[in-house]
Structure 1
Amino acid sequence: MNAVRSPMAEAIAKHLFNRKIYFQSAGVRPGGELDPFAVKVLEEIGLDISRHRPRTFDDIEDSNFDLIVTLAPEAHHKALDLTRTQAMDVEYWPTQDPQLASGSREQILEAYRTVRDGLMRRIKDRLGWSPQAHD
């Protein structure tokens, strides 16, 4: 529902690439509200997603993407279906849903940090980020 993982990935990617590459996140289903734990763990690294409004694939106006990265199985199937007739690469990055975490507040936050840090690594690796190129 575009409320946790993909808004985190979008914010991280936009920050790393200083908006030199177009990034847009979307969910499969409408109705999600931005997750406060996602907001919190991004604030910890200086990113603000508090203004993010969840959107679906249907809400995206520009459909000219070179690469679509999906983070959940349902999103992956939807992306493959949408791109059957288009020349776009679709990659699936299995990403744990931190909303399934239980325990204390700190344990739950740690699950979100794990997702955040994993997305940061994957984005840097996949898109060839280096500090020197983005200063």
Structure 2
Amino acid sequence: MKKFYGHSAYVQSAGVKSDMEIDGFAVSVCRELGVELERHRVRSFDEMEQWGDDLSGFDLVVALSPASQRRALDLTRYFHLDVEYWPILDPTGLGEGREDKLRSYRQARDQIRDRMISRFGPPIQEQT
């Protein structure tokens, strides 16, 4: 999101559960677009609250899985948030070898990119 839209909006990623390390295949395919995820840390909505993020300050939650959609809709009981569900391919566990796995991750990455452009318009920053 920051790669395409810069700092025109405050963006934070969160999941249903937190894993300390981001998936290496996701790191690889995002690097192909100039998006560096090596230092990215996956965290949950609960962790965001515990660390002081004010969830009421967000306008929109984009859920990429049914589980994250349920959790985001749960939050709407306490906060005024719009929730959109973008059904994106879950590439984990797909493909036999490295190239097959990368192909699945690229497909998911491209689905997210296309949904962002459809929802928020063309990128405002020059892409490399």
Indicate how the Cα distance of structure 1 residues 45 and 31 shifts in structure 2: closer, same or farther if over 3 A, else same. Answer: closer
Q: Secondary structure at the match of 1:100?
A: coil
1:103 to 96, 110, 114: 96
2:41 to 28, 44, 53: 53
What TM-score, normalized by structure 2, do the two folds share? Answer: 0.87
Q: Which residue is 1:66 aligned to? A: 59
Whether 1:43 and 2:43 are equivalent positions in the alignment is no
**Equivalent-residue separation in structure 1 for 2:19 and 2:6 (angstroms):** 29
Q: Which residue is 1:3 aligned to? A: none
Q: CA RMSD in A?
A: 1.4
Matched positions, count: 121
Q: Which runs of 5+ in 2 are unaligned?
A: none
Deviations 1:37-58 (A, max 9, x none): 0000011111110001111101
Whether 1:76 and 2:64 are equivalent positions in the alignment is no
Deviation at 1:126, TM superposition (A): 0.5
Sequence identity percentage: 43
Q: Which runs of 5+ in 1 are unaligned?
A: 1-12
Question: Which runs of 4 or more aligned residues in structure 1 lie more than 3 Å from their structure 2 counterparts after TM superposition?
Answer: none
**Equivalent-residue separation in structure 2 for 1:134 and 1:47 (angstroms):** 13
What TM-score, normalized by structure 1, do the two folds share? Answer: 0.83
